[in-house]
A = this chain, B = another copy of it.
Amino acid sequence: MYLEKILSPDDVKKLSRDELKLLAGEMREALIGKLSMHGGHCGPNLGFVEAAIALHYVFDSPADKIIYDVSHQSYSHKMLTGRNEAFLNPLKYDDVSGYTDPKESEHDFFNIGHTSTSISLASGLAKARDLKHERYNVIAVIGDGSLSGGEALEGLDFAASELNSNFIVIVNDNDMSIAENHGGLYTNLKKLRETRGNSECNLFKALGYEYRFVADGNDLNQVIETLKEVRNCAHPVVVHMVTQKGRGYAPAEKDREAWHWHEPFDIASGELKSRGNRESYDGILTDYLMKKAGSDEKVAVITAATPMVMGMDRAKREKLGNQFIDVGIAEEHAMAMSSGLAAGGAKPIFGVYSTFLQRTYDQIAQDVCINSNAVTVLVYLASVNGMNDVTHIGYYDIPMIANIPNLVYLAPTCREELVSMCDWAVEQNRYPVFIRVPVGGVESANRSISTDYSELNRYEVLSHGDTVAILGLGNFLKLGRETAALISSELNIEATLINPRYITGTDDELLENLKKEHRIVVTLEDGVLDGGFGEKIARFYGRSDIKVLNYGLKKEILDRYNADEVMRKNRLVPSLILEDVKKILG
């Protein structure tokens, strides 16, 4: 086996072309083996095996620097840079993350997980190299899907004319984003593929790049020869390389969208190893969206290249027709266009992962909120129980958006409230309304739920008690209920339990009233404490005798954490909260 013996890129360079091809086969087998047990990004990695080999064969990493966009296609790169065991030995699978990470290897230059960043990051390296009078190759690898992101387009535009030195952009064109591509630039990529790179109408040439076309990016020799030609170039070059997403694993070649990222699967059949069938908040929203759009043709359901976040599979997208808008990887555009849709009298609903919402801060503040346009935004996986890669943490949303004027951010706590809040948001036309989609097991209301949220910042009191009041925001209402139960059994105090519902403001009247029969107010939020919900409550009571205990997550960089451990460390556990309450009650 060749792969076992690859301890660094130097070992790649020693192999013959035929041996490299055998190596590619072994790598693909290792990929499929790990992915079948571990899950991960299938399509992007299977398609980039040969290119990763060619890059390490032609260039001298880490002196030459290869920057992977999203870096979800970097598994092969990892195998060739001293991390092969993490793909060969199941016990070591978790030794590496699914993205590049400088702490793992000197061959990784950035922690990258969001799309469309590689060209800008790489152009910084290239410029630093030039300022320091050093000489090496800088190579940015970017997929066609990521090209439509604003950061990538800004970088592509800049590097074309402003660097004037070695800079190589590899456009890994597999004719797919996560789902199918959307946007005009893809008509140009198609034209370039059809003309084998010969069309005069060429986006990259228009920007000023030298342009090379590789018709089969899964043909090692083609890739190697082209990379040799551009190595040590003294100006910006685009290598447009056509690869096959999912290459070498039939189910992934066939359904490229489903196999972009995949749970563990049975290799022979391609079937999921375990299929969850529990009711989920996401599924409730999918049903709501289909029904709503079906009954009102002014409803537009919007995604930025992640239709499955809202459960919008191909059949549902087709059913929604022109009421479903996938803008491609272009979150800024999605948010601003939503504002335009609302201004034009439509009812836009934009569903987005919390971590990718970060791309749209300015569009939220300027395009949406200053204009008070009634956009509905569904914010997914904003929770300590969301994605846990350092680049995909979703619980920084509250400080980011809840302090923007005019924005209403709602935190539903159960099935009925989620649907009621959504429907109110879509039907009203006064506020931009963001909804923090609950994470966790589906709860039911067991009480009547309001259908009108237009009187802002009215918290809901679930049980009236005394001495201790607990504000359990969104996902953590359940924790609040458990804490109240423990306080009741341990201290014989019936705590007041409150569902704040509104993240963006304080219910001053209610908070004022709490002063009469309470000594302690506890806030619980499934988000970072700094700049969050609880601090607003602490400020409100700053000049009073009420003691405020804020619970939430510490502001810190975490990567692939264990959520239960993080909860405990932050004392988000009924018994620890009880301890703190007891200390104050004396």
Contacts and interface: CB of A to CB of B under 8 A. Distances in A.
Given A344-B127, A539-B550, A111 B371 contact: yes
Interface of A: 102, 109-114, 117, 120-132, 148-151, 153-162, 182-188, 200-203, 205-209, 297-298, 300, 322-323, 325, 327-328, 330, 332-333, 336-346, 348, 358-359, 361-363, 365-367, 369-371, 390-391, 396, 399-400, 402-406, 528-532, 534-536, 538-539, 541-544, 547-550, 555-557, 580, 584
Contact of A148 (B157, B323, B340): B157
Contact of A158 (B207, B328, B345): B328
A341 B155 CA distance: 14
Contact of A343 (B110, B114, B332, B406): B110
A548 B557 contact: no
A200 B199 CA distance: 10
What is the copy number of this chain in the assembly? 2
A405 B187 contact: no
Contacts of A359: 361-362
A534 B539 contact: yes
Given A121-B336, A184-B208, 8 more contacts: A130-B322, A157-B185, A158-B328, A162-B327, A188-B206, A358-B365, A370-B391, A399-B400
Contact of A330 (B125, B154, B339, B556): B154
A502 to B, nearest CB: 13
Most B CB contacts (10 A, CB to CB) among A149, A337, A340, A370 go to A340
Contact of A370 (B343, B348, B547, B557): B557
27 contacts: A110-B343, A111-B370, A114-B362, A120-B363, A120-B367, A121-B343, A122-B340, A123-B337, A125-B343, A126-B340, A126-B344, A128-B300, A128-B342, A151-B336, A153-B157, A155-B337, A157-B328, A159-B184, A184-B208, A188-B206, A359-B361, A530-B536, A534-B539, A538-B548, A542-B549, A543-B584, A544-B547
List the 9 closest pairs (A to B, CB-CB), nearest first.
A124-B340, A150-B150, A128-B344, A160-B184, A184-B207, A120-B336, A542-B548, A403-B531, A531-B531
Given A150-B151, A531-B399, A182 B162 contact: yes
A34 to B, nearest CB: 25
A338 to B, nearest CB: 6
A539 B543 contact: no
